[in-house]
């Protein structure tokens, strides 16, 4: 599929603007009715899903060019968080706005029309296999002192993939370290690839670098196979999305992929993790886009669109809708609810229509100001619940919240689900 394959879809967009809001059913206030950070921050219609559909058509019809100077800004100032996709599909069964926007990115990248600030990031990635401008040699430093299997030489059932952010963000090392402790204590046969762990490629894919993504996906799949692993567990929602959705979609490589919160939910249910302490804390949970609405399992589909009753468009056979219905929302909440003392308050925008943290799809790296503004909006929403802490299950969200709070001179606590599990044991 390329951008040209989406022409019919753009012709059929009814330009309703649902993509700019959370599903209207769920609007509870003026303040938190908005769903799309991109248009809220940039104002012009082009910075919305429907605007980018229009742009795709204008590009295909050669009314504009990839090389127009202002185009990358419009195309890439967007987290691809997918709230637009969910809201669109409340009423439409035949449109895939997120897919169109991704393909628009691929088109620009093919032509070298990327933001120039990508260059150091991508150059370093090519050399060091990470998205953090860090050295490959330092990738396993977080695991120093942990007696973990090295899956470059040993074999294990479960491979723990911690991802670039957690490998190099020292302040967050406690998250993978806790994951290891919990897994080992529960008797799980787990190991890591250590220094040879590669970037998952998921963020690259969203940034438009699908060609580079494929290389990392192939390498990772090979490494897991060589390690004899049957299950990949990850502490990062970005990686989860890459493994759960993109790998099978792009490489037809099904793996048993679990986010750490899904694994913990299972362990808690089996009684393998017990809590000894009470944590009297009012919290609110932020759904990471890549674990929530975009973390739906990939279901292969091959078929066609046909018309019935004259012109009504249907897919034959039934096509997976990917409308956020099957994302991972309950596992992290169930883990949190099982911790004694915790009081969980929901933000107005939650689950499939959660507001994005601002970090995704290269926005944090390319446009930090927009990224932090988006995080700030979420922080306001968290405050509105009366919670003392904002809890998430993705290090990218957590880092962005921490930095945005720092910039605001704010002191809301930010935790990973694992932090609270560790504290309560």
Interacting positions 56-95 with another protein (CB under 8 A) = 57-58, 61, 63-64, 66-68, 70-71, 74, 86, 89-95
CA 207, CA 75: separation in Å to the nearest integer? 10
- The interface with another protein within residues 4-33 (CB under 8 A) comprises 7-8, 10-18, 21, 23-30, 33
Size of the site for another protein (CB under 8 A): 102
Binding window for another protein (CB under 8 A); candidates: 52-60, 165-173, 174-182, 372-380: 52-60
- The interface with another protein within residues 293-322 (CB under 8 A) comprises 307-319, 321
Question: Whose Cβ is closer to another protein: residue 9's or residue 192's?
Answer: 9
111 in contact with another protein (CB under 8 A):
yes
Looking at the DSSP bridge assignments, the partners of residue 415 are: 391
- The interface with another protein within residues 236-265 (CB under 8 A) comprises 251
Exactly one of 82, 324, 332, 362 binds another protein (CB under 8 A); that residue is 324
Tokens read off for 361: 């799809």
Question: Whose Cβ is closer to another protein: residue 102's or residue 140's?
Answer: 102
Question: Whose Cβ is closer to another protein: residue 10's or residue 291's?
Answer: 10
153 in contact with another protein (CB under 8 A):
no
Report cis status (omega within 30 of 0) of the bond before 317. Answer: yes
Minimum distance, C-beta of residue 405 to another protein, in the bound complex (Å): 24
* CB atoms inside a 10 Å sphere around CB 243: 29
Minimum distance, C-beta of residue 420 to another protein, in the bound complex (Å): 28
212 in contact with another protein (CB under 8 A):
yes
Question: Whose Cβ is closer to another protein: residue 146's or residue 312's?
Answer: 312
| Closest-CA residue to 336 (of 381, 390, 377, 292) | 390
The torsion defined by the Cα of 193, 245, 301 and 263, in degrees rounded to 10, comes to 80
Residues shown for the chain: 425
Binding window for another protein (CB under 8 A); candidates: 180-188, 264-272, 323-331, 413-421: 323-331
- The interface with another protein within residues 334-373 (CB under 8 A) comprises 352
Tokens read off for 43: 């104002």
CA 122, CA 273: separation in Å to the nearest integer? 40
Question: Whose Cβ is closer to another protein: residue 119's or residue 269's?
Answer: 119
- For 128-182, the DSSP string reads HS-SSS--GGGTTGGGTT---EETTTS--SEEEE-HHHHHH-GGGTHHHHHHHHH
Q: Give the residue ranges of DSSP H helices in 17-89.
A: 37-42, 49-60, 71-76, 83-88
Tokens read off for 372: 């932090």
Residue 88, SS3?
helix
Whose tokens are 């915790």? That residue is 342
Binding window for another protein (CB under 8 A); candidates: 46-54, 232-240, 258-266, 384-392: 46-54
Binding mask 117-146 toward another protein (x if CB under 8 A, else -) reads xxxx-xxx-x--------------------
CA 305, CA 312: separation in Å to the nearest integer? 10
Tokens read off for 6: 């989406």
Minimum distance, C-beta of residue 322 to another protein, in the bound complex (Å): 11
Question: Whose Cβ is closer to another protein: residue 71's or residue 363's?
Answer: 71
Question: Whose Cβ is closer to another protein: residue 363's or residue 389's?
Answer: 363
Whose tokens are 């220094």? That residue is 195
Minimum distance, C-beta of residue 276 to another protein, in the bound complex (Å): 35
CA 202, CA 289: separation in Å to the nearest integer? 13
Minimum distance, C-beta of residue 341 to another protein, in the bound complex (Å): 27
Exactly one of 115, 194, 358, 360 binds another protein (CB under 8 A); that residue is 115
Tokens read off for 162: 């911690």
- The interface with another protein within residues 154-193 (CB under 8 A) comprises none
228 in contact with another protein (CB under 8 A):
no
Question: Whose Cβ is closer to another protein: residue 315's or residue 373's?
Answer: 315
Binding window for another protein (CB under 8 A); candidates: 1-9, 177-185, 276-284, 386-394: 1-9
List phi, psi (to 5°) of 274. Answer: -125, 150
CA 106, CA 213: separation in Å to the nearest integer? 12
Question: Whose Cβ is closer to another protein: residue 123's or residue 410's?
Answer: 123
């Amino acid at each position: 599929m390329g951008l040209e394959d989406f022409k019919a879809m753009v012709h059929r967009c009814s330009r309703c603007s649902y993509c700019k809001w959370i599903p209207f059913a769920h609007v509870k206030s003026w303040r938190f009715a908005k769903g799309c950070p991109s248009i809220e921050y940039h104002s012009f219609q082009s910075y919305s899903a429907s605007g980018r559909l229009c742009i795709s058509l204008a590009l295909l019809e050669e009314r504009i060019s990839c090389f127009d100077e202002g185009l990358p800004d419009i195309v890439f100032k967007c987290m691809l968080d997918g709230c637009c996709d969910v809201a669109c599909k409340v009423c439409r069964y035949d449109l895939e706005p997120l897919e169109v926007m991704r393909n628009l990115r691929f088109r620009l990248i093919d032509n070298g029309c990327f933001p120039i600030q990508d260059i150091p990031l991508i150059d370093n990635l090519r050399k060091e296999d990470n998205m953090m401008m860090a050295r490959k040699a330092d990738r396993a430093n977080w695991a120093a002192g942990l007696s973990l299997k090295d899956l470059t030489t040993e074999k294990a059932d479960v491979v723990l993939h911690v991802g670039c952010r957690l490998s190099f963000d020292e302040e967050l090392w406690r998250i993978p370290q806790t994951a290891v402790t919990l897994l080992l204590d529960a008797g799980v046969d787990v190991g890591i690839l250590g220094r040879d762990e590669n970037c998952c490629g998921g963020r690259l894919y969203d940034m438009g670098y699908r060609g580079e993504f494929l290389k990392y996906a192939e390498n990772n799949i090979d490494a897991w196979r060589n390690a004899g692993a049957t299950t990949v567990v990850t502490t990062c929602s970005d990686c989860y999305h890459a493994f759960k959705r993109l790998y099978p979609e792009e490489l037809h490589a099904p793996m048993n992929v679990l986010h750490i919160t899904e694994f913990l939910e299972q362990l808690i249910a089996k009684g393998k993790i017990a809590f000894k302490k009470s944590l009297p804390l009012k919290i609110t949970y932020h759904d990471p886009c890549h674990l929530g609405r975009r973390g739906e399992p990939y279901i292969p589909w091959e078929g066609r669109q046909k018309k019935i009753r004259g012109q009504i468009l249907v897919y034959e056979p039934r096509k997976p809708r990917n409308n956020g219905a099957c994302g991972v929302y309950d596992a992290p909440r169930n883990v949190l609810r099982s911790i004694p003392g915790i009081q969980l308050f929901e933000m107005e925008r939650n689950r499939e229509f959660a507001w994005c943290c601002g970090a995704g799809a290269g926005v944090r790296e390319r446009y930090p100001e927009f990224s932090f503004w988006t995080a700030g909006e979420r922080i306001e929403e968290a405050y509105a619940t009366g919670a003392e802490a904002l809890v998430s299950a993705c290090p990218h969200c957590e880092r962005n919240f921490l930095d945005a709070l720092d910039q605001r001179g704010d002191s809301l606590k930010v935790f990973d689900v694992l932090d609270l599990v560790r504290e309560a044991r």
